[in-house]
Chains A and B, each alone.
Chain A
């Protein structure tokens, strides 16, 4: 068959689709919605995962936390000496951090003790970090700054566990590009964190362990665990794996939303595959009667499936991209934010996995075309007279 005859069949198919425009536009709408939801989830989860993995590459190789009665407890700082004596450990540094609920704006902050200064060329901090032993100063995340209307030079007041008001001069504000990491952070000097949380002397929240060779980290974690059975070592690999799972295919929100979309699509495809309407059967019968071959009818049905599924796929994937990367996934954002008052704007970098797009296309376009062709082929090989009479 020449190209022109294929175009003629396509012309006929498009006219036939337009004759049943309400039904077909309905299918395109539902199909586009399914691709949009699934595509948005794929874009969102993949970008989150890639960003998290890139950002968390610099996390400590090993975190040692103390457990008591099934809950995390403060850890004695003197354990750092014993851990640093283990072969392969290059340094142990206590971390002082905790959560703070701000009654004023009903938001949770993460309070963290400073343990050094950022590199000179770091563009993500306006101002500076407090020194590790400095008192009365703070660097805050953009989310905290917005919620408390503060800028560099302002004062932020927090209430300590002892009930005293503690004022801090804001010397640094993290830029909005770092929101995914710092939105709710307040960085203080170590003495201020200890006073704010009324931590007992010589106790820290946990210990950050640096190892010379990361492949040895699990062995060191095992040694720490056998030396201190009440501790829980968390490896950087486990942290990364957690994010892989949180934003992976099989995870909570992703699974829930995707399962709903998948079920809806299966119902749609099943409805198409289980049979043709009386009108469609009659159309096939008439076409056969006027001289169309079975192969022509199959081609027409192939075009029909392709027009609907390809149009829906292209529209759905474009809408998903625009939704996630230009509108910050505004449809899913309320679910992701949950009860949070301070949350980052989801201005994600558009990391695209071509394999996922290809999979989505293979899972939507091909089954739909198949489900359109198979019942038509059955009708096309039946005697036209029988088909038209029903």
Chain B
């Protein structure tokens, strides 16, 4: 192993020096074939990511599928002739979880110029102050509204906006002379339901992420994450891993480690699911008990009053919320594909030589004391440190979320991304889905990842292909 590594190292020193020579490439570990440990789905399904972890008992699997129905079934406006599936809106992005997380993956992207987005949502914020949402529209644009007839409400609640999308195309060259093209989405909110946005409001597009393996990320011990923290880059590798410190609503603390969301806004999977319910579907739940109408959205508030609280009635009570959370925890990570092949192993070497692992931290053993024993003590390979990194101006959205600055993003997990093409029928990566291939996604890396990106540009085609091949197998 050492010998091979030396050869490779010499090879690149002589030619192009694209690689950082300071790191060892870890020996291939058989556990890499099962990136979710014992929870890994050991069959290939090119139709959907949604399978329960195979190490669950039959009772657990039944709970999983019961929870899945809350993920899949569309919510309707209250009151329908239902007791447990109404409460949609008043404002919402989608009627069901699966509308955006199609097949448990990322949603469908729109090709139209003006549309009411489903899979891409738009967060509103401010460059300086985390609590400073848009005074009229709140923290998120909800393009749709329920239709309500009521004496107290002579006019209908309006969806907040539609979106106009144009792309700006950017071209560049690899060192070997090959041209590449990137596209940058330029979003504009149109058909606004109220006055224009506040002049300081920043609009940040967020493309629904895939939802498998979330329970395992939830199960990583906080200490194991914090051990990787290096806010001031004291190890001088050019990478400053910073963990977001966020509010844990149920614990009532403000310094919980953020792990979920594109800027690690949510500390736990439970709170992430709850936030999605209230913000995206307009479903009040045990953690977020009120609809998200702002003070100036009077019709929204009136409509919310029709279906909202008297006593403890939530639109999704704890019992069903817990089932949905349970299901979200146990969506199995797919097994690796052709990882042992020569090409994948070559790509794997390049991954480490480019220092990708400094942020895309490959592996953890999940906490032994995690609340779900089937997820605890698992050797997993998610390829993320769940930390915030400055990704440069090209990706910056200008929106602050607690400690996350306008150009910082949380490292996303990489496991299973190679199945996107098969399961979704197309590829789209990064926080707003702008990258049409893994290659484009890498090329967008800037800021702290600029060095790795530059090294990628210097690779020849075979090396680039090998790296991407590897990423598609993990």
Do the two chains bind? no
Q: Which residues of A contact B (CB under 8 A)?
A: none
